[in-house]
Amino acid sequence: MVETTEQYNEDSVKSLKWNEHIRHRPGMYIGKLGDGSSHDDGIYVLLKEIIDNSIDEYMMGHGRTIEVTIKEHSVTVRDYGRGIPLGKLVACVSQINTGAKYDSKVFKKAVGLNGVGSKAVNALSSQFTAITVREGRSKTAEFNKGDLINESAEEATDQRNGTLITFTPDQGLFGNYHYIPEYVEQMLWNYCYLNTGLVINFNGQRFQAKNGLLDMLERAINGNPLLFPIIHIKDEDFECAFTHSNRQSGEEYYSFVNGQHTTQGGTHLTAFREAIVKTIREFYGKDFEPVDIRSSIIAAVSVKVNEPVFESQTKTKLGSQYMEPGGVTISKYINDVLKKKLDNYLHMNGETAEALYRKILQNEKERKEMANIKKLARESVKKVSLHNKKLRDCRVHYNSNDERRLESTLFITEGDSASGSITKSRDVNTQAVFSLRGKPLNCFGMSKKVVYENEEFNLLQAALNIEDDIENLRYNYIVVATDADVDGMHIRMLLLTFFLQFFPDLVKTGHVYILQTPLFRVRNKKKTNYCYTEEERLASIRELGPNPEITRFKGLGEISPDEFKNFIGQSIRLDPVILNHSGDIHKVLSYYMGKNTPERQKFIIHNLRSEDEIDKELVA
């Protein structure tokens, strides 16, 4: 029994104000803070919470346009819905559990039901201004970190009804954050796919979709060849679009509830996966294995539920069992829709039905052929794990229920010196290290078989725990940590080829990153600056005066463990690997990692500079 000298009495019990509690425990409300480099960082959750309110207005038939503006750290969202009742403006944005969405007669199948979203944004912002306009009258309230600093009287206006929210996430909490436009754009596209007719204007760009999830899937597929046209099914409260890819295995899903992107799925996605298997088995009259039916599927699934129950405030996983309290189960509803509409579709589209049948048989054949290879691969993993410290694991994993699961990170690096420095300086609770032996194989154009036959890929796959399903992924951040030289860049490209070739959904769902380490250390007797760019190096020279000591880091092993703590801790710099939807993944990989074509030779010659030349430029 551990004894303590601390006194536990009335003075130990404290009551926090609503905004103090949110600021003290932000993870309860927005998942994590972050600096914007990850798509699920807090600044995007704040934006989403405000837009969700505007979407709910649209879903109730009020206002078809939403204006979103982001300038550096300041965010503005303007909708043209009914506007917040003027007398309740302050309460609606600053009193927990206050809102009209508790009245199901006013808001049906809404996204935000907890009465928390806008309050969390308010509390976590250094500046938060809410303006509401209703029937020729307007009112404004201004806040600082959740504290009301100004409330205007009602006044006449000729503006259209609606709500305007402006906020600046608090740098004291989020640090030197930045919004990545691609993440914002993907969020806005999702809103438009799920709300046909909705128009969102973002920094001068117009977002609108005409064909719902069909448009979403066409954009997600991004030019990849398909075995059959996309099957698009719609019902009053359910919509799905799916097909099978000819270039990838595994399962790839985009799931939504009431317009909310449920990145971790939930009961509706489980119901869809089961219903697909059941319907196809009954159509063909064969007891296919589920994995053979679903392998290489790409699907988008959306359901509208009354009073949905999510497993957290960030609403990434649906927990509801029923379409509405006391009503039909989600599983039965989705199964009934697919049983009727998918069965009808396959009967009416014989070529698609035949193509799907051939794909299932092909998957079955490949699965059986791979069985022995997988068995040998698993034995190899066990053997190497016993005798070789390839993986220095951490204690907290992404597929656990630990409150720090979102911080779980795997650094993939090459060589003993680099992996040794990271291992000695990491947080053993949330940061793991996987050490490569030499350069990985260029796997472009190869089959999944190579993942099991190549020792490095097999061990990496086992470390990530993604052999059977990426839902078992053990790390939220997969970080490629290579030297800042030619060899390091080559290893980086080979690893990205591996992920894009065999596990593209890891990239698409925002799990793969590049670690940025400093190129220079600039110091004098009083101060040391670490510089990541040439501009930062020149600024440090100006700051520290003439003749500072300048060190050019070429390899991660040159950075001592004590220094490395600065680069993989709170101030870690990660560049997300983002897929550009305007390009074909296969074409990009073919150009850079395929055969050495004349076009690529011209590109290399045109951009050729030796490493020594680059170093001379940087140190000059």
* pLDDT tens string 46-78: 999 999 999 989 988 899 999 999 998 999 999
pLDDT score of 314: 65
Name the token pair of 184.
Answer: 């914002």
pLDDT above 90 coverage of the chain, percent:
46
**Domain 213-367's class?**
alpha beta
The region of weakest confidence among 26-30, 168-172, 349-353 is 26-30
Distance between CA atoms of residues 378 and 166, nearest Å: 53
pLDDT tens by residue, 573-597: 889 998 776 556 777 777 778 777 7
Q: What average pLDDT does range 154-181 have in this prediction?
A: 94
The region of weakest confidence among 155-164, 315-324, 369-378 is 369-378
User: Between residues 416 and 582, which one has the greater pLDDT?
Assistant: 416
pLDDT score of 388: 57
pLDDT above 70 coverage of the chain, percent:
90
| Contact between residue 398 and residue 474 where contact means Cβ atoms under 8 Å apart | yes
Residue 333: which of 274, 265, 260, 258 has the closest Cα? 274
Mean per-residue pLDDT over the chain, rounded: 86
Query: How do the domains of the chain map onto residue ranges?
Result: 18-207, 213-367, 388-517+554-619, 520-552
Distance between CA atoms of residues 466 and 254, nearest Å: 18
**Domain 388-517+554-619's class?**
alpha beta
Helix, strand, or coil (residue 604): helix
Q: What average pLDDT does range 142-170 have in this prediction?
A: 95
CATH architecture classification, 18-207: 2-Layer Sandwich (3.30)
pLDDT score of 102: 43
Q: What average pLDDT does range 485-503 have in this prediction?
A: 88
At 113, is the pLDDT very low, low, confident or very high (cuts 50, 70, 90)?
very low
Name the token pair of 392.
Answer: 């220095």
The region of weakest confidence among 124-138, 367-381, 425-439, 523-537 is 367-381
Q: In this model, does residue 484 exceed pLDDT 60? A: yes
Q: What average pLDDT does range 26-42 have in this prediction?
A: 87
pLDDT score of 616: 56
Q: 199-202 and 65-71 as β-strands: parallel, antiparallel, unpaired? A: parallel
User: Between residues 326 and 284, which one has the greater pLDDT?
Assistant: 284
At 107, is the pLDDT very low, low, confident or very high (cuts 50, 70, 90)?
very low
Distance between CA atoms of residues 389 and 595, nearest Å: 35
Residue 3 CB neighbour total at 10 angstroms: 4
pLDDT score of 207: 95
Residue 264: which of 276, 273, 256 has the closest Cα? 256
Q: In this model, does residue 267 exceed pLDDT 80? A: yes
Report CA dihedral (503, 507, 508, 509) to the nearest 10 degrees: 100
Q: What average pLDDT does range 154-179 have in this prediction?
A: 94
Residue 415: which of 443, 439, 441 has the closest Cα? 439
The region of weakest confidence among 38-42, 111-115, 431-435 is 111-115
At 354, is the pLDDT very low, low, confident or very high (cuts 50, 70, 90)?
very high
Q: 205-207 and 199-202 as β-strands: parallel, antiparallel, unpaired? A: antiparallel
Q: In this model, does residue 357 exceed pLDDT 70? A: yes
The region of weakest confidence among 172-181, 552-561, 588-597 is 588-597
Q: What average pLDDT does range 254-262 have in this prediction?
A: 88
Q: Which helix (H) or strand (E) holds 387?
A: helix 350-387
User: Between residues 418 and 155, which one has the greater pLDDT?
Assistant: 155
